Amino acid sequence: MSLYASLFSGVSGLSANSSAMGMISDNIVNINTTGYKETRARFSTLVTESRSSTSYSPGGVQALPQSLISRQGLLQSSTSATDLGIDGAGFFVVSKAAAAGQSNSSISFTRAGSFTPDDTGFLNNAAGLYLMGFPLDSAGNVPINQEVSALQPINVSGLTGTAESTTQVTLRANLQSTQTINAAIGTYDPTVAGTSMAGGGLSPDFQRNVQVFDAQGGTHTITIAAIKSATPNEWHVELFAVPATDVNAVGPLHSGQIATGTLAFNTDGTIDVAASTAGLFSAQTIDWTNGASDSSMTFDFGTDGESDGFTQFDSISTLISSSVDGAVFGNVTGVSISEEGVVTALFDNGLTRAVAKVPLATFQNPDGLNREQGNSYTRSDNSGIFTLQLAGTGGAGFVAPSTLEASTVDLANEFTQLITTQRAFSASTKIITTADEMLDELNRIKR
């Protein structure tokens, strides 16, 4: 009977508008929630099928939630270096526990980037969710396996007091082409202490020192010494530690020597790698005497045929520049995060170290994600599987450091929807009361 159907239609209106009121209420109370995404009520008709053109069967209405998760919120500046926003697509990968080796079931995704260190140094947001990232090696490279299993909670406090051994020494220097050949060059023999530069038997034409680090953070002085050869465009070179007791030299090396050989130059003053001693360009194994593990150290003298390293021009012999990796890290005093998601620890001795890289998870349909506690989301059948992308690649946005994404709620629109929903709810009650009065009239017919 259409009268009863009208009664049920009014009830469906009450239910649908009640649901809509709940969504609006959530939006309003979360207007200041970082990264919150507005949810709208999407009304849909409930139609009772009728094949008759002369009668109508009322159905009703239902309210379905529509999450606008993919909508970009306003990025607002923050004074905290660990507050992060996302400029573009993607989500931060977070975990409820500060533990490595996360499975797909234990992670969630969020754009609420109000991260701060907890009492153990792990970065978590206001909901207690821990930020996950790829740990970087000493060269600043991410793991080859960029999967969920490679993610780890980001913690920089554990780096306090650590050290990295020197692996690369890059040198730029000029050896004077008109250098007078030493009268004793004919007796030069790098394998004999009395006739070598390391042993003090022959004074070098060029000598400079660089500071390197072992695996325990110990500092050592390495001397690069060179003497012009009687052969045109050729110099004898020795690399040795000062003092010599810092290393265990293995014969025929002696007096702290690390490597010996010759550097050859082309007629235009650039280095000739092919004619030089290959061993000088190879990784040198250094056996320290202080108990630190052996170091594998490569000395970069330049590119073949280029003037980006050692050169031979008619100007004074000098060390132009040197670059040495490795360091001793002190206490962490701060953290900085770049647009590419690189987390860099700042130490009290002025050094910095890239420790992790924050990936962004992208979805084919982010609006299909399941909502979870703490303003986070989990994947669903509607969202599709996620892909971990480095910031700025594969369609992912950039990380916005010292920035927070504001809620997407428009308060004026929510208040307008609040009024219309209230009126629609009241109208539904009128349907019920009117249908009730009509049914009461029917009851009185029999009297």
302 and 169 in one domain?
A: yes
Q: In terms of domains, do 324 and 226 share one?
A: yes
Residue 339 maps to a domain: no
Give CA–CA dist 149/106, Å, rounded.
11
In a domain, 349, yes or no: no
**How far is the C-alpha of 394 from the C-alpha of 341, rounded, in Å?**
14
Domain that holds residue 82: 76-154+355-405
Same domain? For 306 and 207 the reply is yes
pLDDT at residue 6, as a whole number = 84
The answer to the question of residue 336 being in a domain is no
Beta strands in 281-358 (DSSP E): 283-286, 295-300, 310-311, 318-324, 327-328, 332-337, 342-347, 352-357
pLDDT at 429: 93
For 433, residues 6+ apart whose C-beta sits below 8 A from its C-beta are none
CATH code assigned at 261: 2.60.98.20
207 and 310 assigned to the same domain: yes
Looking at the fold, whether 206 and 282 belong to one and the same domain comes out as yes
* Residue 394 and residue 259 share a domain: no
Which two tokens mark 167?
């692996």
- Final residue in a domain of this structure, among 278, 293, 328: 328
422 and 376 housed in the same domain = no
Do 283 and 177 share a structural domain? Answer: yes
Contact 362, 391 (CB under 8 A): no
Overall residue count recorded for the chain in this entry: 447
Q: Is 335 contained in some domain?
A: no
Structure tokens belonging to residue 56: 């109508």
pLDDT along the chain (447 residues), means of 10: 80 92 94 92 82 74 89 92 93 83 71 90 90 84 83 81 86 95 92 92 94 92 96 96 93 93 96 94 94 94 95 95 84 86 83 88 93 91 91 92 93 93 93 88 80
Closest Cα to residue 406, out of 202, 138, 114, 166?
114
* Residue 437 located in a structural domain: yes
Q: Which residue shows structure tokens 């009126």?
A: 423
Is the residue at 431 inside a domain? yes
pLDDT given at position 99: 63
> 390 with 267, same domain?
no
340 domain-assigned: no
pTM over 0.85: no
d(CA 93, CA 340): 15
CA distance 270 to 302: 9
Boundary-marking domain end, from 328, 363, 395: 328
- On whether both 189 and 135 belong to a single domain, the answer is no
Residue 82 belongs to some domain of the structure? yes
- The answer to whether the Cα torsion of 101, 105, 111, 112 is positive or negative is negative
Amino acid at 111: R
| Token pair belonging to 4 | 């009863």
Shared domain for 115 and 223, answered yes or no, is no
b/e map 165-175, b = 16+ CB within 10 Å:
bbbbbbbbbbb
pLDDT for res 447? 64
Domain tally, the chain: 3
Return the pLDDT at 346.
85
Under a CB-based contact definition with an 8 Å cutoff, are residues 266 and 272 in contact? yes
Residue labelled with tokens 């394998």: 191
401 plus 412 within the same structural domain? no
